[in-house]
Amino acid sequence: MPTLWKHPESQYWFAKITLPDGRRTSRTTKQTDRNAAIKAAFAMEKTAKLARSNELTQSAVVKLARDLCEAVGAASIEMKTIRQHFEDELANRKTMKCSPATLARYTPIVSAFLAHLGTGRASASLASLSVTEIESFRNAELAKGKGGTTADFAVKLLRGFLRPAVNKGIILHNPAMAVSLTGEVAQERQPFTDSELAALLDATRGTDWEGMILFGVHCGIRLADTAHLTWGAFRAEERKLVFFESKNRKTIEIALHTEVVRWLGRRPRGVGKAPIFPTLAMHETGSAGGLSNAFSAIMEKAKIAVPMGETRTGKGRTFRGKGFHSMRHTMISRMANADVSADVRRAIAGHASDAAHRRYTHLKLETQRRAVDSMPAVRAGDR
């Protein structure tokens, strides 16, 4: 049975308890009230007794901790399973109005991670999640044929989902932070050349795709957002477009290039929610028969050579250096080569950071040479 004592220089009561190996020791109860200290002491003694009899299971520890918190009037300890935590974090992101595209990217990673752990481990305490288990998941993703950047993104997502648990004190450390990344550099899309753009427009003349390409190269709007544009978004008098951007979940206002305005002027004018691209508005962006595949077929028809990345097997997807998203690279690069300032380019593109914007900027050699030649020579007579 535990006994209490108090050190003359401490405000807390100490408890003398019997350890699992039979030794007697003193432990602080962190309580200044004697009655609360007694309850804490009995909880310590009960824990040691369960350990001596090999009955100190996870559920027993949780119950003891909750009973102790209730006894001393402290806030209840939040104990979550691995599955519950990750599903709650997904739900939190929906509440925070995370874009559907972002949720669609997060959800399969969480599902794959929980499936990798298995039903039993996913139902275990979040605090029991180990570095080894997260490393094992990363390695399994690579074994499926997925690229290093994809596996790294999965690890980074797990880090982000576990961070709130550390901040709330539910777990003491973030095990995903100890998992190394592959360090594979992400492959980048390449912009279209002017001759390739002309070939694409020739291959789609008179179709909705012709307008999609013009919107892409002059506005840099993403594929799904472009396909879902309505006539209500077009402000003819001001030559601008006002629409809701799905990725960043905000309303965007874009000035329209004359070439886009002229194309719209040749189309049958609709009103309100009538789609600007009626033959494409109901299609999905990915999947078999989707807009991405349709654009690939257009590039093939226009005889555009598409640079291919390293061949992937299994569930990995071979990277294609050119696709509709290359239109954003094309727009930003065309502006950069026309000496449009980085601030203006970034504002039009809607990039959240300079780092993100730089990935979309591809300067022609002529532009670089013009910039280099603008600097004075170090030695007179060398220019």
CATH number at residue 348: 1.10.443.10
Distance CA 27, CA 4 (A): 10
Question: Exposed/middle/buried for 102, CB within 10 Å: 0-12, 13-18, 19+?
Answer: middle
* Structural domain includes residue 378: no
Last residue in a domain, options 148, 178, 208: 178
| Sign of the torsion angle spanned by Cα atoms 80, 83, 89, 94 | negative
Stronger pLDDT, 341 or 324, i.e. the higher one: 324
Q: Percent of the chain, pLDDT > 90?
A: 25
Long-range contacts of residues 293-301, Cβ cutoff 8 Å, at least 24 apart: 294/209, 295/209, 295/223, 295/323, 295/324, 296/320, 296/323, 298/200, 298/203, 298/204, 298/209, 299/200, 299/323, 301/203
Domain assignment of residue 218, yes or no: yes
- Is 214 in the same domain as 280? yes
Among candidate residues 178, 209, 240, the one where a domain is terminated: 178
Same domain as 123, residue 61: no
Tokens of 285: 């962006």
In a domain, 382, yes or no: no
Q: Is 13 helix (H, G, I), strand (E, B) or coil?
A: strand
**Same domain, residue pair 61 and 88:** no
Is 205 within the bounds of a domain? yes
* Identity at 192, one-letter amino acid code: F
**What's the whole-number mean pLDDT along residues 43-57?**
67
Residue 356 and residue 305 share a domain: yes
Residues 128 and 251 in one domain: no
Q: For residue 148, give Cα distances in angstroms to 111, 314, 338.
A: 19, 14, 35
* 332-342 per-position pLDDT tens digit: 888 887 777 77
CATH number where 130 lies = 1.10.150.130
Over residues 305-331, the mean pLDDT reads 72
Per-residue model confidence (pLDDT) at position 28: 84
Mean pLDDT score of the chain:
80
Residue 183 lies in a domain: no
The pLDDT score that the predictor gives to residue 377 is 47
What distance, in Å, lies between the first and last C-alpha atoms of the chain?
Answer: 93
Q: Are residues 275 and 302 in the same domain?
A: yes
Q: Which of 39, 72, 105 lies at the terminal end of a domain, its last residue?
A: 72
Q: What is the Cα–Cα distance from 56 to 63, expressed in whole angstroms? A: 11
Contact 116, 137 (CB under 8 A): yes
pLDDT above 90: residue 79 = no
Residues 43 and 86 in one domain: no
Model pLDDT, residue 328:
85
Residue 202 and residue 301: Cα distance in Å, rounded? 10
Note whether 303 and 199 are within 8 A (CB).
yes
Higher-scoring residue by pLDDT: 138, 253? 138
**pLDDT of the residue at 105:** 86
For 205-235, what is each residue's pLDDT tens digit? 999 999 999 998 888 888 888 999 999 999 9
Q: Is position 375 within any domain?
A: no
Same structural domain, 62 and 169:
no
For the chain, what percent of residues have pLDDT higher than 70? 77
Q: How confident is the model at residue 282 (pLDDT cuts 50, 70, 90)?
A: confident
How many structural domains comprise the chain?
3
Tens of pLDDT, residue by residue over 128-153, are: 899 999 999 999 998 888 878 889 99
Which distant-in-sequence residues (6+ apart) come within 8 Å of 89 by Cβ? Answer: 110, 161, 164
Same domain, yes or no: 65 and 109: no
Does residue 54 lie in a domain region?
A: yes
Residues 290 and 242 in one domain: yes
With a CB cutoff of 8 Å and minimum separation 6, the contacts of 73 are 36
What pLDDT score was predicted for residue 360? 61
Is the same domain home to 274 and 354? yes
Output the six-digit token pair for 337: 């080569």
pLDDT in tens, 104-136: 889 999 999 999 999 999 998 898 899 999 999
Same-domain pairing of 278 and 346:
yes
User: What is the residue range of 331's domain?
Assistant: 194-369
Does residue 210 lie in a domain region? yes
